[in-house]
Structure formats: structure tokens, C-alpha cells
Amino acid sequence: MATFEDLQVLKAAETIADSIWKKVVGWDGFAKDVLGKQITRSADSIGANIAESVGRYNFGEKLQFLYYSRGSLFETKYWLNRVKERGLMEPNEIREYVEGLTSLARQLNSFASGLKTVRSEQKKSAVRETAAEYHVDPIDDASLILFSEKDFAFLKT
């Protein structure tokens, strides 16, 4: 049986996060503090949210964590733009990360779409009773009389 560690989308996220970590540890203190912590956290958050989505039972929660993961992916792209502008990595390194993140975004979208398909199929195959028809006959004034005058005759004596 496959575990969440076997998911290709998670492995791809881990590869990017670990690679970014290895780059950031070589930066000077100021760059690490200002950009390094941010980009490392956002890159780590991609995989962490994928893992958390797998651990959720409810489909809505699973999808929500995949959306968080995608948000962290875009945050990581933002920080890469800052890294590029501040000359902390070579342009070809940035391009490789952006390509990796773009591929990962496609994998995430496919993973989420597959999850939606599974949810939709499970809803279709659920055992359900057919709804009973409910009819109301018009009320007849005569049927509103529960007791006749004769039934209350004993009260008059």
C-alpha cells in the first residue's frame, strides 16, 4: 500500500524545498534573515500542506489544504523574484526553480482535480433511498368535525 511519502507531487515539493534550503544556508546573515527565512518557509509549506491534505478525511478539507499548498507555491515564486532582483542567485538558477514550481503547480492542479473526480464518483455511488411521494388531500369541512352533538349529549345532563 502506498503512503503519502510515495506521492510524486509531494516528492517534487520536497526536492524544491530542500534545494532552496541548500542555497539559502550559504547566504550572508542579512540576506538569510530578510529573504532566506521567507522563501524557505514558503517552499517548505508547499509540501507540508500537501501532506496535511492527505491526512484529512473530509474532501473539502483535503482540497482546502491543496489550495493552501498552491498559495505557498505562488508565494515562493514571489520570493524568487525578490532573490533575482537582489542578485542572490544566478538567473539560470531562478529559471530552473520557476520551471520546477510551474511543473509542481500543474501536478497540484491534477491532484486536486483527481480528488474532485473521486468525490463526485463516491457521491454517485452512494446508497440512497428514493424519496417517498407525499400527497396532501384537500381538507373537507366535514372531516374537521371530530365529535358530533350526540357525542357531547352526556354533558348536558
- Taking the domains of the chain in order of start, what are their residue ranges? 4-123
How many other C-beta atoms can be found within 10 angstroms of the C-beta atom of residue 88? 21
The domain covering 4-123 belongs, at the CATH homologous superfamily level, to 23S rRNA-intervening sequence (1.20.1440.60)
86 DSSP 8-state letter: T
Q: Is 80 exposed, middle or buried (0-12, 13-18, 19+ CB in 10 A)?
A: buried
Residues constituting the chain: 157
Taking the whole predicted model, whether its pTM rises above 0.85 is answered as no
Over its length of 157 residues, how does the chain's per-residue pLDDT go in tens digits? 456 677 899 999 999 999 999 999 999 999 999 999 999 999 999 999 999 999 888 889 999 999 999 999 999 999 999 999 999 999 999 999 999 999 999 999 998 888 887 776 666 666 666 777 766 666 666 555 666 677 667 666 5
- All 3 cell numbers of residue 93? 538558477
Which residues, other chains included, contact 64 with Cβ-Cβ below 8 Å and sequence gap of 6+?
53
Cβ atoms < 10 Å from Cβ of 31: 15
| Radius of gyration, CA atoms only, the chain | 31
Residue 38 has a CB neighbour count (10 Å cut-off) of 17
